[in-house]
Amino acid sequence: MTRCTASAGRVLLLSALGAFLPWPAPLALHGIAQSPVRVFRTADLHETVPPPLATLLVREVALLDLLRGTYDSVPLGARPAFVPAAPLTVTLVATGEPRPLRTRHGITLRGAPLRRRGRP
């Protein structure tokens, strides 16, 4: 026969959590689902903003990693190939993104101020 060793405080805490958590759980899940949509909507400013922004951010993160010594555990021979890999990859992809916008859709950075004229 097993004995119940839960104290009255623990039972009260668990019952309070059981009554309280069903209310904020859907809100938290909704917030988790909506945060990438709201945070990463830089294309709402202009369609050509995300590629240079991504390039800038990945280079900044790489520089901070170098200054903090994040790559100290990487062997010395692999560091020259390992450290610039992410910034170079993102830069190469980002330089190719504006061309389809220009050729397929006629969207250029120069045309940004005129694009929404007449809309509220």
**Domain boundaries of the chain, sorted by first residue:** 1-39, 42-111
Distance in angstroms (rounded) separating the CA atoms of residues 40 and 81: 29
pLDDT of the residue at 92: 92
pTM for the complete prediction?
0.57
pLDDT tier for residue 78 given thresholds of 50, 70 and 90: confident
Tell the residue number behind the tokens 């021979």, with chain if given.
77
What tokens appear for 54 in the block? 């991504």
What digits encode the pLDDT tens for the residues 20-38? 878 788 888 888 888 767 7
Distance in angstroms (rounded) separating the CA atoms of residues 65 and 34: 29
